[in-house]
Amino acid sequence: MEKELQDKIEELIASKKIFLFMKGTPDAPMCGFSAGVTNVLRSLGADYNSFNVLSDMSVREGIKEFANWPTIPQLYIDGEFIGGHDIVVEMARSGELQKKIGT
């Protein structure tokens, strides 16, 4: 991965305690999995930033390499990769996600 792209991804992740790479925006998700993660975050009252990977193909492909995770959405908390839709939903069910985000 190019250093410039890696730096951009790292800056995005560092811009907020909770950061979500998704398809679309929180108000207009463009896939069911992205909608599911935003719904979980909204239900927990989480304050987060997001990036619409459909707006930048280099980030869309780069984030998959960055996290070594093939799918989007991807959730980061305190700079740590948490996972995608299924992991986020399961963590919310177990209460683990609430502990990580401090709600």
How many separate domains does the chain show? Answer: 1
Confidence of residue 87 (pLDDT cuts 50, 70, 90): very high
Domain extent for 24: 3-101
3 has binding-site annotation: no
Q: Give per-residue pLDDT as tens, 90-99.
A: 999 999 999 9
pLDDT at 32: 97
Q: Give per-residue pLDDT as tens, 31-78.
A: 999 999 999 999 999 999 999 999 999 999 999 999 999 999 999 999
Q: What is the CATH number of the domain that holds 25?
A: 3.40.30.10
pLDDT at 102: 86
Which pTM does this prediction carry?
0.96
Instruction: Name the β-bridge partners of 24.
Output: 29
Of 36, 21, 8, 24, the residue nearest 77 (C-alpha): 21
Q: End-to-end alpha-carbon separation of the chain, Å?
A: 35
